[in-house]
Amino acid sequence: MLDNEEFMLETSPRELTQNPLRKIWMPYRNGHIAQRRVCMTNCPTLIVTVGLPARGKTYISKKLTRYLNWIGVPTKEFNVGQYRRECLKIYKSFEFFRPDNEEGLKIRRQCALAALNDVRQYLSVEGGQVAVFDATNTTRERRGTIVKFAEQNGFKVFFVESVCEDPEVIAQNIVQVKLGSPDYIHCNTEEAIEDFMERIKCYESSYQPLDEVLDRDLSYIRIIGAGCRYLVNRVLDHIQSRIVYYLMNIHITPRSIYLCRHGESNLNVKGRIGGDSGLSARGKEFAKGLRKFIQDQNIKDLKVWTSQMKRTIQTAESLEVPYEQWKSLNEIDAGMCEEMMYEEIQEHYPLEFALRDQDKYRYRYPKGESYEDLVQRLEPVIMELERQENVLVVCHQAVMRCLLAYFLDKTADELPYLKCPLHTVLKLTPMAYGCKVESVYLGVDSVNTHRDRPEVGIPGSTQKCLSAEDVDNLNPLQV
Q: Which residues are catalytic?
A: 262, 331
Rounded to an integer, what distance in angstroms lies between the CA atom of residue 457 and that of residue 479? 13
The annotation status of 311 as a binding-site residue, yes or no, is yes
Which residue from 192, 199, 243 is spatially nearest to 49, judged by alpha carbons?
A: 243
Among residues 291, 294, 280, the alpha carbon closest in space to that of 317 is found at 291
Q: Report the C-alpha dihedral over residues 424, 429, 435, 438, rounded to 10 degrees.
A: -30
CA distance 328 to 342: 25
- Rounded to an integer, what distance in angstroms lies between the CA atom of residue 23 and that of residue 363? 8
32 has binding-site annotation:
no
362 is in an annotated binding site: no
What's the distance, CA 74 to chain centroid?
Answer: 10
Distance CA(433)–CA(176), nearest Å, equals: 10
- The span from the CA of 207 to the CA of 196, in Å, is 16
Distance set, CA 75 to CA 84, 134, 225, 432, 467 (Å) = 22, 13, 27, 20, 22
106 DSSP β-pair partners: none
CB 275 within 8 A of CB 325: no
Q: What is the number of alpha carbons within 13 Å of residue 55 lying toward its C-beta?
A: 25
Say if residue 261 carries a ligand binding annotation: yes
| 282 annotated to bind ligand | no
Q: Say how far apart CA 412 and CA 373 lie, in whole Å.
A: 12
Nearest Cα neighbor of 319 from 359, 288, 347 is: 288
d(CA 239, CA 130): 9
On whether 364 is known to bind a ligand per the annotation, the reply is no
Q: d(Cα 91, Cα 243) in Å, to the nearest integer?
A: 34
First to last CA, the chain: 38
CB burial string 361-377: b at 16+ within 10 A, e below: bbbbbeebbbbbbbbeb
Rounded to whole angstroms, the Cα distance separating 91 from 87 reads: 10
C-alpha–C-alpha distance, residues 247 and 239, integer Å:
12
* 390 assigned ligand-binding residue: no
Q: Is 317 exposed, middle or buried, given 0-12, 13-18 or 19+ CB atoms closer than 10 A?
A: middle
Residues 6+ apart with CB under 8 A from 325: 305, 306, 307, 308, 313
Beta-sheet strand order (sheet of 25-29)? 15-18, 25-29, 32-33
Binding site as annotated, residues for substrate: 261-268, 311
Write out the binding residues: 261-268, 311
